[in-house]
Amino acid sequence: MQKKSVISTSVSTGRYGEFIDNLMTLSSEKKSSYVCVVNVHMTMEAHRDAAFGAVVNNADIATPDGMPIAKAMKLLYGIEQDRVAGMDLLPDLMGECEKRGKSVFLYGSTDEILEKIVVRAKQELPNLTIDAYSPPFRTLSPEEKEEIVSRINAKNPGFVFVALGCPKQEKWMAEHLGSIDSCMIGLGGSFEVYAGVKTRAPDWMQKYSLEWLYRLIQEPGRLWKRYLTTNIPFILLLIKQWAHI
């Protein structure tokens, strides 16, 4: 898919349905690949850290997860870009996998969250084969890393959905490119929403790019500093990029 630069991050463009089609094609090719789901936080992390920026820009597909990213496409390039959010991709791709006889593997998060996801998926998608593993929250040994790769590949999943948080999950996918024989997608907080542990912002807040405010209200202690150091610089850098077009 064609990519356009937002600040210093290359983001894929297209309609939502095109993303689903291209992701399913990546899955069907049975080769190692990875997909980043780009929001303001990831864009700023990539801008500040060149090595991480390379990880995001080398992704096979980078979806415009946040509404500000989608709107930036309009501002910079005149593109009416659909938002392609991880919270939509997770259930939609699982549904496609059930239809096509593909399995999925969930990697990351906690055992409690994974169990809730599996329970819901079994209710809504009874014919979907779903496996899950929550790794220890510590540095893994080379032997443990190898065992995890073997565990995932043995299941031959159509997708590996990764929830380790940004930027850890993107770095993990890049590290395992070529060793995990599947399409990996970093979905972070989408796991908690699908599991029902957290709720998603109302549609009107999503439409007006206020989902960040809804999340801030939910987790003020964890998110206030992140938003202060990412949202304002993002707006300033975006204006700078627009001014130089």
Residue 4: Cβ within 10 Å count? 16
Chain mean pLDDT for the chain: 93
Give the pLDDT confidence of 148-167 residue by residue, as tens digits: 999 999 999 999 999 999 99
**Mean pLDDT within 168-175:** 98
Question: What is the average pLDDT across 169-176?
Answer: 98
Residue 16: name the closest of 102, 100, 85, 76 by CA. 85
Query: How confident is the model at residue 83, as a pLDDT?
Result: 96
For 57-114, the pLDDT digits (tens) are: 999 999 999 899 999 999 999 999 999 999 999 999 999 999 999 999 999 999 999 9
Read off the tokens for 231: 């949202």
Q: In this model, does residue 28 exceed pLDDT 80?
A: yes
Q: Note the pLDDT tens digit of each residue in 220-240.
A: 777 667 777 888 999 999 999
**What pLDDT score does 203 carry?**
81
pLDDT at 216 over 90: no
Q: Name the percent of the chain lying above pLDDT 90.
A: 81
Q: What's the pTM value of the predicted model, to 2 decimals?
A: 0.92
Q: Can you tell me the distance from the alpha carbon of 20 to that of 100, in angstroms, rounded to the nearest whole number?
A: 13
Residue 98: what pLDDT?
A: 98
CA 213 to chain centre: 20
